[in-house]
Structure 1
Amino acid sequence: MNIIAIMGPHNAFYKDEPIRELEDALVVQGFKTIYPKDANDLFKLVEHNPRICGVVFDWDEYSLDLCSEINQLNEYLPLYAFINTHSTMDVSINEMRMAVWFFEYALDAANDIAQRIRQYTNEYIDTITPPLTRALFTYVKEGKYTFCTPGHMAGTAFQKSPVGSLFYDFFGANTLKADISISVTELGSLLDHTGPHLEAEEYVARTFGAEQSYMVTNGTSTSNKIVGMYAAPSGSTVLIDRNCHKSLTHLLMMSDIVPLWLKPTRNALGILGGIPKREFTRESIALKVAQTEHAAWPVHAVITNSTYDGLLYNTQYIKETLEVPSIHFDSAWVPYTNFHPIYAGKSGMSGERMAGKVFYETQSTHKLLAAFSQASLIHIKGDYDEETFNEAYMMHTTTSPNYSIVASIETAAAMLRGNPGRRLINRSVERALHFRREVQRLREESDGWFFDIWQPDGIDEAECWPIQPGEEEWHGFADADRDHMYLDPIKVTILTPGMSEQGVMAEEGIPAALVAKYLDERGVVVEKTGPYNLLFLFSIGIDKTKAMGLLRGLTEFKRAYDLNLRVKNMLPDLYAEDPDFYRDMRIQTLAQGIHQLIRQHDLPRLMLRAFDVLPEMKMTPHQAYQQQVKGNVETVDISEMVGRISANMILPYPPGVPLVMPGEMITAESRAVLDFLLMLCSIGEHYPGFETDIHGAKLTSEGRYRVRVLKNAQVS
């Protein structure tokens, strides 16, 4: 970060020589200088080049207007105004708060000015660098000798081995020097919340609008368990979103608590809808309690916000309506909602605290912000017992945290602060909107078919689009509640031909798995693949090049599909799975074969029924797991599950949402759950390379799916 932009004066010879001297002095200080052509060029450079650390300009020519424009882009960026004895200095108190320093045009003053610019640059870097990261950078620069862990000693051990040297060269010196021991006292303690770690937590909480925040280095899977272990004591009852992440099922297996399921909706496309308003009412909860053995009034609730497909709740309604002491919003997929006005009122930390309630929000900082994998945050608003909570925190947190992960969490927060952060999220939203419009344009201009996009008509403005009942049919949710759920614009779902949002199957279709495989072979990885839809996440790391690469991939697929190329040529990796099977097959034959198989199984009906009637809970997930560790399990074919108690959760990927929980039994009433699983299995049986990844089911070499059930627990 050593680039200085110089807006030199025009047609003023007596000013040129001091600026030339300053340029030479800045180079000595280690700066690189660039000369924008005009003010607009400068604004573009500042906006798109975050390594610019200062701007030098002529006050008489540009004055406060230039300062104000740059301040809107980055209010922390140092500005250096050159004046002379005749310059007019009309600056208000508020304007003086901007980071502007004044120097006079003078010969032989360049070295002093360059030293000042170096000083102010260092202060700028210090200002934007968060506390723990700053302390970690300082420690690495000091280069201390340690006689503690980790054993690679800042990378020294790697350099004593040929293969270790390859590893060292790949990751670089600073990565390994920053991998340090918890014994380094100047960085404080992640477990005791002291020193720079405590400062970092306070910094993060202020940034995300929380009263308290905790940094977690084991992913949001662990964050979810920490919150649950604290909020739900043994023997209590908990409300849990049925479309929960599997980490919450693991919580239920670990803790002896009784789950009551909040049942969400789905549309025929398989897109995950939210929990209807009626599920949050006192009457609905009372009925669940009455119908569930050993259940009491719930002490805690877990809501997935947003859903995997990008639907956000009006969280204020849930907070006001749900009569439980604490509510946990699992917001793994939306760590950015505090930083753009379109998300107001749609996150766990939005709004004020409420008397008698505490709100938790867990976020995967690595998913859609700039942090390392396993980086996660827990935010809290409301009164809670910090010491007891910290016991749950330490129960799941390593005593040897990776400081680089922790620093990346804090840095991700720092990137979102102020005008640069707002601009970062706004750019992400705008890029997603632009991509959506481009898909629409290509669809309108295309000969024959083209991909569609799951969104309402008319998307001119940046907003979260409401899933409204009645008059709007684009979303496919038959019984939507008004002003309850909203589609996040950066979660882009592309639709392939074959099925409408209302579940009407076409005579011909293109299953989305084919498109996903085609894109993957061209370096474009899809986040989630449904039967006829593909989910793409327009995170802050997506730029125009990546977006154009996706558009090109979609148009190239259409061209290749219309030419009816051979599978061998169009999908060589798939062909390699079974060359004999795919030897002479063409892409349209493959697409229609899978499409007709899906039609035979009547996917829209299956999709709706499979998530309408839940399997019967015969015991809690905790009790089922205890039976499993005692060895009271056996393995059966998945087709034999009716009347048997499942030992494991069973969930197909995508989307990774449990269909059957441990301790549940598929009955005649919930047979559609098994039929849906069998349909997924049958596609892989007929077409090599299209096997479904089903957690909790083991695929044998003969192509059969086997599951674990409890012994002596068969019901006729």
Structure 2
Amino acid sequence: MNIFAILNHSGVFFKEEPVRELHASLEKAGYKVVYPVDAQDLYKMIEMNPRICGVLFDWDKYSLDLCSEINALNEKLPLYAFANQHSTLDISLTDLRLNLHFFEYALDMADDIALKINQATEEYKDQIMPPFTKALFKYVEEGKYTFCTPGHMGGTAFQKSPAGSIFYDFYGPNAFKADVSISMPELGSLLDHSGPHKEAEEYIARTFNADSSYIVTNGTSTSNKIVGMYSAPAGSTVLVDRNCHKSLTHMMMMSDVTPIYFRPTRNAYGILGGIPQSEFTREVIEQKVAATPNATMPGYAVITNSTYDGLLYNTQYIKETLDTKYIHFDSAWVPYTNFNKIYEGKCGMSGEAMPGKVFYETQSTHKLLAAFSQASMIHVKGEFDKESFNEAFMMHTSTSPQYGIVASTETAAAMMRGNTGKKLIQDSIDRAIRFRKEIKRLQSESDSWFFDVWQPENIDTTECWKLDPKDSWHGFKDIDDDHMYLDPIKVTLLTPGMNENSEMSETGIPASIVAKYLDERGIVVEKTGPYNLLFLFSIGIDKSKAMQLLRALTDFKRGFDLNLTVKNFLPSLYNEDPSFYEGMRVQELAQGIHDLTRKYRLPELMFKAFDVLPELKVTPHAAWQEELRGNVEEVPLADLVDRVSANMILPYPPGVPLVLPGEMVTAESRPVLDFLEMLCEIGAHYPGFETDIHGVYAQKDGSYTVKVLKQN
């Protein structure tokens, strides 16, 4: 971090010579000294290089305006002003809050000034680093000899083996020295929330506007189970978003609860829509309770916010309308919403607590902030039994948590604090909007076709764009006003094949072909639908990555229009089955898949498949218990109608269950099966285009089977 910026181009000897002396002293102390050419260059340098730990400038030339501009970028960055005996120090009490130090131009003072700068730098590092991470770093620096777990002893064991040495060299020493046992008292305990672990969770709660926060080291899949297991005792009824993550289905398989589902919408593209406002009213919930055997009024409800495709709710309406004690927002995909004003009122921790209610927000820190995989957080607002909650926490938490994940979770929170964090998120939003506009510009200039963006026509304002019932771009029918909003960071591109009226075109380019082309060029798509591709503009996406994506998309258009052979255009796909793809051209491949999609009348299928849900026959818990007892059998996928599914069935992407354990696909909900059969048929016809479907098993003869409960 020791980069020091000096803004000094006075050309006056009595100022230049002390700066030269200070330069030498700083280099001797281990600093790299850089010289921006002017104030604008300095601002850009601070923006682009977070390792700058201090700025020195001439007070007579730059004064407080420079301090204010730097403060807007990083309010904790130490600033140093050189002044002379005649300098005017016109500073108010407010200005004195700046992290500002004064030195006088004088010779032979450089070593003393460098010492003061080094002290301030250490204070700066101490200020910006969070508590647990500091304690972990200190422990590693002490280099203690331990006679406890983990057995690799700071990496020593790996270096006793050739394979282990290669592994050790790849990750480096600190990764292993920081992998320590829970036996270290100076680090506290994640399980009983003591010491630096407790300080870390309190630090995170303050950062994310929560009353309490918990660090979870096995992803939001585990966070969801912790919240559900505490909030929904056996025998109770739970309200669950039908577009829930499979971890919530697993929670219901583990705990004997009765589910009632919020029924959301989908559009013709297969993009997951929101739950209508009426679904949250007591009247509708009472009707569902009356229609569900053994159901009672629920005390726990879980809503996916945002959806996989970036739709956020008006959460204040849900909090005020939904008559349950516990309201859980599964916000795995949006851990950044507390740090920009466009998300106000659209996230779980927005607003104040409400008497008699507890709000949860579970977040995957690793997904769109900077943390290791599996890093997750639970945020809570409201009064709850912390001792009982911690029992649920410990049920799902290892007694040997990975401290690197803990530290990365806390550091992700530290990165979001203050002006620096706000700027990181604002930059992501701005970069995503610029990319959206560039796609629209290229489309308008194209002489034939180009990719489109799923968004409103006018995106001149920086906001979460409302899904207006009067607009057609979103493709959802009969939606509520002021209810759902599109997050600009989640960019969905559309390929030709379907128009704005949800009608199939004669020709089309399935998005799966584009995704395979991008993968050939080292670009991984987050989610691929029939004619849509999702890209996430996280804080780790920079301008060069966005430009590479634009370049790859234009290259795809060029190659597609030239109708290149699959062998030349998609060599990895060709290698899946050379005999099948020999001589085939990309336009033939695209039209073949498109024709299969048209055969199944995709738009109509998408609307119908999620209009009537399969019928609940037994709870997910009861179905799982029957499977454990062996009371299941495999049947062809086509025979699923009128049979009770033993497992959840969900295609990836998007990984949302279509059929849950204990449910029966009936004649009315038959479109669910039609949708699954369409995916299977595309995979059967075109090698390399198989869909990963959890709960559907491919057989050697090319057929597919599912597990169902045995009939009595």
**TM-score band w.r.t. shorter chain:** over 0.9
- CA distance, structure 2, for counterparts of residue 311 and residue 168 of structure 1: 42
1:391 and 2:391 aligned: yes
| Structure 1 segments (4+ residues) deviating >4 Å | none
Structure 1: how far apart are the matches of 2:96 and 2:203?
26
- Counterparts of 1:210-229 in structure 2 under 5 Å? 210-229=210-229
Distance 1:709 1:457 in 2: 47
Post-superposition offset of 1:711: 0.9
Question: Residues 464-483 of structure 1 correspond to what in structure 2 (within 5 A)?
Answer: 464-470=464-470, 472-483=471-482
Q: Counterpart of 1:644 in structure 2: which amino acid?
A: R
Contact 2:496 2:531 in 1 (8 A): yes
Matched, 1:186 2:177: no
Partner of 1:106: 106
Once residues 7 and 572 of structure 1 are traced to their aligned partners in structure 2, the CA distance between those partners, rounded to angstroms, is 53
Deviation at 1:428, TM superposition (A): 0.1
Q: Does 1:417 align with 2:417?
A: yes
Check the 8 A contact 1:467/1:475 in 2, yes or no: yes
SS in 2 for 1:42: helix
Percent of aligned pairs with the same residue?
70
Q: Kindly indicate whether the alpha-carbon contact (under 8 Å) linking 1:249 and 1:621 is maintained by their aligned counterparts in 2.
A: yes
1:613-654 Cα distance to aligned partner (Å, 9 max, x none): 011100000000000001111111111111111000000111
Q: Does the 8 Å CA contact 2:14/2:106 hold for their aligned counterparts?
A: no
Equivalent residue for 1:32?
32
Deviations along 1:394-416, whole A, 9 cap, x unmatched? 00000000000000000000000
Within 5 A, what are the aligned runs for 1:306-345? Answer: 306-345=306-345
Q: Aligned partner of 1:350: which letter? A: S
State the TM-score, normalizing by the size of structure 2. Answer: 0.99
* Alpha carbons 1:564, 1:586 under 8 Å: kept: yes
User: Who is 2:354 aligned against?
Assistant: 354
Q: In the alignment, which residue of structure 2 is the partner of 1:443?
A: 443
- 1:592 maps to 591
The one-letter amino acid paired with 1:59 is W
Give the match's secondary structure for 1:619: coil
Query: In structure 1, what is the equivalent of residue 294 of structure 2?
Result: 294
Match of 1:261 in 2: 261
| 8 Å contact kept, 1:464–1:488 | yes
Structure 2 residue matching 1:320: 3-state secondary structure: helix
Which residue of 1 is the match for residue 158 of structure 2? 158
Please say if residues 493 and 534 of structure 1, whose CA atoms lie closer than 8 Å, have aligned partners that are also in contact. yes
SS at match of 2:509: coil
Question: Which residue does 1:500 correspond to in 2?
Answer: 499
Q: Contact between 1:269 and 1:501, CA under 8 Å: does it hold in 2?
A: no
The 2-side partners of 1:129 and 1:583 are apart by 58
Give SS of 2:94's match: helix
Aligned to 2:17: 17
1:95 aligns with 95
Moved more, 704-713 or 485-494: 704-713
Q: CA RMSD in A?
A: 0.7
Q: CA deviation at 1:19?
A: 0.7
Match of 1:137 in 2: 137
Please tell me the residue identity of whatever aligns with 1:289: V
1:625 match? 624
CA–CA separation in structure 2 for the residues paired with 1:100 and 1:384: 44
Asked if 2 retains the 8 angstrom alpha-carbon contact of 1:268 and 1:502, the reply is no
- Report the CA distance between 1:11 and its aligned residue: 3.0
Query: Quick check: 2:366–2:376 contact (8 Å CA) kept in 1?
Result: yes
Query: For the residues of structure 1 that align with 2:416 and 2:202, how far apart are their CA atoms?
Result: 15
Q: CA deviation at 1:478?
A: 1.3
Tell me, which stretches of 5 or more residues in structure 2 are unaligned?
none
Query: TM-score, normalised to structure 1's length?
Result: 0.99
Q: What amino acid is aligned across from residue 246 of structure 2 in structure 1?
A: K
| Amino acid in structure 2 at the alignment position of 1:254 | M
1:41-74 Cα distance to aligned partner (Å, 9 max, x none): 1111011110000001111111111111100110
Tell me how far 1:132 sits from its aligned partner.
0.4
Local SS of the residue matching 1:679 = helix
Contact 1:339 1:421 in 2 (8 A): yes
On the 8 A contact 1:370/1:412 being kept in 2, the answer is yes
The 3-state SS of whatever aligns with 2:359 is strand
CA contact (8 A) 1:268 1:501 kept: no
Code of the aligned partner of 1:643: D
Could you tell me how far 1:9 is from its partner in structure 2?
4.3
One-letter code of the match for 1:231? Answer: S
Q: Which amino acid aligns with 2:441?
A: R
Aligned partners of 1:48 and 1:278: how far apart in 2? 47
Once the two structures are TM-superposed, the CA of residue 704 in structure 1 deviates from its matched residue by 1.7
Inter-partner Cα distance in structure 2 for 1:501 and 1:346: 27
The CA deviation at 1:500 is: 2.0
The offset of 1:446, in angstroms, is 1.1
Matched-pair contact (CA < 8 Å) for 1:267–1:502? no
User: What's the counterpart of residue 83 of structure 1?
Assistant: 83
SS at match of 2:327: strand
Contact preservation (8 Å) 1:365, 1:377: yes
Give the Cα separation in 2 of the matches to 1:603 and 1:14: 78
1:510 equivalent to 2:503? Answer no
> Which residue in 2 is equivalent to 1:613?
612
Deviation, structure 1 residue 701: 2.3
Report the AA paired with residue 190 of structure 1: L
Q: Are 2:558 and 1:573 equivalent residues in the alignment? A: no
Which residue matches 2:66? 66
Shift of 1:502: 3.0
Unmatched 5+ residue regions in structure 1?
A: none
Match of 2:367, SS state, is helix
Distance 1:134 1:661 in 2: 45
Q: Amino acid of the residue matched to residue 551 of structure 1?
A: L
Amino acid at match of 1:229: M
Aligned to 1:545: 544
Residue equivalent to 1:167: 167
Residue 124 (structure 1) aligned with residue 124 (structure 2): yes
SS in 2 for 1:16: helix
Match of 1:636 in 2: 635
CA–CA distance in structure 2, aligned partners of residues 501 and 306 of structure 1: 23
Deviation string, structure 1 residues 54-102 (Cα, Å, up to 9, x no partner):
0011111111111111001100000011111111111111110110001
Instruction: Give 1:392 shift.
Output: 0.1
SS at match of 1:645: coil
Counterparts of 1:436 and 1:705, CA distance in 2? 40
Give the Cα–Cα distance (whole angstroms) in 2 for the partners of residues 69 and 576 of structure 1. 56
Structure 1 distance, partners of 2:330, 2:164, is 39
Counterpart for residue 4 of structure 1: 4
Q: How big is each residue's C-alpha offset from its partner over 1:460-496, in whole Å with a ceiling of 9 and x where there is no partner?
A: 12110001112x1110111110000000001000000
C-alpha separation between the residues in 2 aligned to 1:307 and 1:702?
37
1:688 and 2:681 equivalent?
no
Q: For the Cα contact (< 8 Å) 1:610–1:670, is it kept in 2? A: yes
Structure 1 Cα separation of the partners of residues 390 and 508 of structure 2: 53
Counterpart CA distance in 2 for 1:262 and 1:7 is 59
2:10 & 2:87 partners in 1: Cα distance?
16
Q: CA deviation at 1:702?
A: 2.1
CA distance in 2, matches of 1:129, 1:642: 57
Amino acid at match of 2:242: R
Opposite residue 484 of structure 1, the aligned amino acid is: H
Amino acid at match of 1:268: A
